[in-house]
């Protein structure tokens, strides 16, 4: 626990790294900086057990809420289009922060459901890699993030369109081809064990989908879980890929067992063992 406190203190001490307070940039961008952006750092504080009453965590949370708009979307940058992935990331972070029942986030969930693509995932109309048959699909990454947010709600395991989003990701496990305007694929990097749990990679994929009955028991999900399980070292999770911004922090060093990551794996394993409980 003392190690977690030390890591949390190190992250809290870097709140000005992006030029403004609470990991924001001077012009108010909340998603720039990867795991040490406002969104990323706030979620890390949850992972490290920082109390909701901590003044920096509380202030960062309020900063994210200031980005909320009446239509449910989140503006995470001062200018430019608002993309579904941005709203999904903000919603996911606030859900992890304990705000899934807030009426504002309920409005966001409604907005996300109203913008599902034809395959019931989420995609942005931004074609950085050009257009092709693969860009007609949703982006798997933002779809996983949205499902991570929805798992905190009563809609999980009761909304058919969310089950179809789960099916979209299960199908991607088989095809593995780059999909969506942002070309999310399943290859070498995806299959490396990465921690913390964010973005589109094997550990996050299995962890999020384990909350959905539509996935649990599906052969494709079980194959992915077995792939993750085979990577354990003496029963512990050993990160193979770590963000450079976090590489020197003790809770997720590459090539070394991670107590926190292993704890998340044990929760996942228990969830599958007691799948009939819901």
Structure tokens at 267: 């929760």
Q: What are phi and psi of 241, to 5 degrees?
A: -140, 130
236: DSSP letter? B
Q: Using CA atoms, how far apart are residues 261 and 267, in angstroms rounded to an integer?
A: 10
Residues 8-12: contacts with CB within 8 Å, 24+ apart?
A: 8/45, 8/48, 8/49, 8/50, 10/249, 11/36, 11/41, 11/44, 11/45, 11/48, 11/249, 12/45, 12/50, 12/54, 12/56
Domain extent listing, the chain: 1-66, 81-182, 187-278
The answer to whether the peptide bond before residue 196 is cis (omega within 30 degrees of 0) is: yes
Contact criterion met (CB below 8 Å) for 178 and 185: yes
User: What is the pLDDT at residue 1?
Assistant: 47
**What is the per-residue DSSP string for 61-107?**
HHHHHHTB-TTS-B--SSSS---HHHHHHHHHHHHHTT-TTSHHHHH
pLDDT tens across 18-75, in order?
999 999 999 999 999 999 999 999 999 999 999 999 999 999 999 999 999 999 999 9
pTM of the model: 0.95
Partnered with residue 68 across adjacent β-strands are: 74
Q: Using CA atoms, how far apart are residues 81 and 86, in angstroms rounded to an integer?
A: 10
pLDDT tens across 223-278, in order?
999 999 999 999 999 999 999 999 888 899 999 999 999 999 999 999 998 765 54
Contact criterion met (CB below 8 Å) for 90 and 39: yes
């Amino acid at each position: 626990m003392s190690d977690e406190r030390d890591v949390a203190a190190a992250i809290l001490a870097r709140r000005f790294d992006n030029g403004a307070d609470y990991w924001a940039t001077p012009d108010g961008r909340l998603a720039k900086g990867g795991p040490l952006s406002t969104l990323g750092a706030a979620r890390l504080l949850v992972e490290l057990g920082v109390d909701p009453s901590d003044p920096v965590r509380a202030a960062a949370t309020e900063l994210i809420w200031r980005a909320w708009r009446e239509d449910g979307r989140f503006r995470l940058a001062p200018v430019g289009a608002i993309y579904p992935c941005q709203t999904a990331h903000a919603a996911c972070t606030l859900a992890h922060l304990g705000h899934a029942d807030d009426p504002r986030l309920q409005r966001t969930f409604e907005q996300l459901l109203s913008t599902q693509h034809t395959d019931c995932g989420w995609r942005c109309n931004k074609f950085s890699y050009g257009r092709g048959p693969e860009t007609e699909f949703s982006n798997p990454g933002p779809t996983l993030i949205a499902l991570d947010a929805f798992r905190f709600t009563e809609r999980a395991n009761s909304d058919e369109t969310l089950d179809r989003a789960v099916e979209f990701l299960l199908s991607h496990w088989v095809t593995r081809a780059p999909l969506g305007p942002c070309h999310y694929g399943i290859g070498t990097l995806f299959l490396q064990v990465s921690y913390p749990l964010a973005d589109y990679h094997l550990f996050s994929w299995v962890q999020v989908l384990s909350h959905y009955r539509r996935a649990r028991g599906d052969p494709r999900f079980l194959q992915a879980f077995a792939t993750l399980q085979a990577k354990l070292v003496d029963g512990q999770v050993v990160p193979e890929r770590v963000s450079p911004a976090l590489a020197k922090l003790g809770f997720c060093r590459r090539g070394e067992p991670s107590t926190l990551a292993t704890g998340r794996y044990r929760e996942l394993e228990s969830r599958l063992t007691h799948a009939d409980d819901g």
